[in-house]
Structure 1
Amino acid sequence: MEKVTIQLESLTCPSCIQKIESAVQKQQGVAKVNVLFHAGKVKTEINSKVTSANKLSEVIEKLGYTVENTKVQGV
């Protein structure tokens, strides 16, 4: 498992949280997801054999959000 933190440019409304959480949680290999509205971050735990931080960033960008950077930390 890996912990992934994705920094977003900005979140403009609380409904963004549900939209992002739902899309990320649907991806295979995602064990946990938490969107931090005020910090503009998405924190996840993933199985790196099934998905990747880059894949999750792409999913979020397809929703219309800008990803500033991504950090991956082994568990």
Structure 2
Amino acid sequence: MQITLNGQDRTIDDLPAAPTVADLITSLALKGDRIAVEQNGEIVPRSTWAASPVASGDKFEIVHFVGGGC
């Protein structure tokens, strides 16, 4: 499947036949509790990842939360 991830074209081969955002996160080996996902310009709430379909050509921005401070 071809997607754009953070501005770069990527081919993801290990997704199931009807992939979801949750499947994509797993395929990318990301920790779901530390990221935010935008799909085609819309924020995807974590509670809907398992029901949000992924299609070839989708554009994703995935950002990691970083803690810190003084």
Instruction: Please tell me the TM-score bracket, short chain as reference.
Output: 0.3 to 0.5
Task: Name the structure with the higher helix share.
Answer: 1
Which one has a bigger Cα radius of gyration? 2
More strand by share: 1
Higher relative contact order (CA 8 A, sep 6+): 1
TM-score, normalised via structure 1 length: 0.31
